[in-house]
Amino acid sequence: MGIFDWFAKSPAPADAATAKSGNDDTKSTEVGGLDFKSAVDAHMKWKIRLDAYINGTSSENLKADVVCRDDQCPLGKWIYGRGGGEFGYSETFFDMKAHHANFHRCAGEILTTAQAGDKERALRLLHHGDYVRASERVKKLLAKLFVLVADGKTAIDAHVKWKERLQDYVAGSGGEDLTVDLVASDDQCSLGIWLAGEGREHYGHLPAFEEVCRIHSQFHTCAGEVLKAAKIGHRQRALDMLEEGDYARASDAVTVALVELFARVGGEARSPTG
């Protein structure tokens, strides 16, 4: 199940505390050191925790000066740590960080109000207004960010594996029966299939996407030349071509173009119904 499928079926906050996900869901939503599904689960539980505190049924000793901070919860620590280091280039990450900070300010205000003895106003703030809007915004932006980083990682990983596959073939240790026609085609590899299908569906309107397609096609032409050299017995030349020259430049260019694409995507990730 993808994260957008999970979002569409996500339980209401009151049920989220007891909802349990299978191992497959957990694995499918972990990218860059963050399990996005678990992060949203934890985020949604804030409403339950605050509601219990306001109604006097909580055993937690919540402190307003801690709750109002956006760097103390697991998601906040990821944002200011590995998340920021790896995905800080993204507008979606920047927006999510800002709305997450606003969410914690709202939560802190609710807690302060409750601790001042104004239970009715605290409950009103919890169920209406800025807190609710901030909470929903964080949830949606986490979904968009997941698509952004998951698609980017998958695409780049699929491309990077080509060098290893060609090296193994040249060395006679790969076990793959590669043909020049297959390798030179830009629509047969995992990245090529993604570009022709899901990638074009979601990002085809971006000029950066067309640039990836163009460079990816050039890369496969160069990869075909490497394999051609290996097949006529020029193994050392083929290995040298993998390290420098047209193939090496084209390979680097694909990676750069992919990073540029996903940096430009920002908030234009696919919708939950996509």
What is the pLDDT at residue 3? 41
Q: Are 39 and 142 in contact (CB under 8 A)?
A: yes
For residues 202 and 65, give the distance between their C-alpha atoms in angstroms, rounded to a whole number. 42
Q: Which are the contacts of 27, defined by CB distance < 8 A and separation ≥ 6?
A: none
**pLDDT at res. 256:** 84
- The CA distance from 34 to 131, in Å, is 24
SS3 34: strand
Strand duo 30-31 + 34-35: pairing: antiparallel
Quote the DSSP letter at residue 189: S
Report the C-alpha gap between 260 and 222 in whole angstroms.
Answer: 22
Amino acid present at 113: T
What are the pLDDT tens digits along the chain (274 aa)? 334 444 444 433 333 333 333 334 334 578 778 888 888 888 889 999 999 999 999 999 999 999 999 999 999 999 999 998 888 877 788 899 999 999 999 999 999 999 999 999 999 999 988 999 999 889 888 877 887 677 776 777 778 889 889 999 988 887 788 999 999 999 988 888 888 887 888 889 989 999 999 999 999 999 999 999 999 999 999 999 998 889 989 998 888 888 788 777 654 433 322 2
Phi/psi at 96 (nearest 5 deg)?
A: -60, -40
Residues of the chain with CATH 1.20.120.30: 3-148, 150-265
- Domain at 150-265: CATH code: 1.20.120.30
Arch. (CATH architecture) of 3-148: Up-down Bundle (1.20)
Which of 228, 248, 239 lies closest to 170 in space, CA to CA?
239
Residue 58 near residue 147, CB atoms below 8 Å: no
Q: Residue 264 half-sphere exposure, CB side, CA atoms within 13 Å?
A: 17
- E-only strand ranges, the chain: 30-31, 34-35
CA distance 152 to 109: 37
Query: Which residues, 6 or more positions from 241, have their beta carbon under 8 angstroms from its beta carbon?
Result: 222, 225, 226, 229, 247, 248
Residue 32: predicted pLDDT: 78
- Using an 8 Å Cβ cutoff, are 70 and 76 in contact? yes
Please tell me the predicted confidence (pLDDT) of residue 14. 36
State how far the Cα of 33 lies from the Cα of 83, in Å rounded to an integer: 8
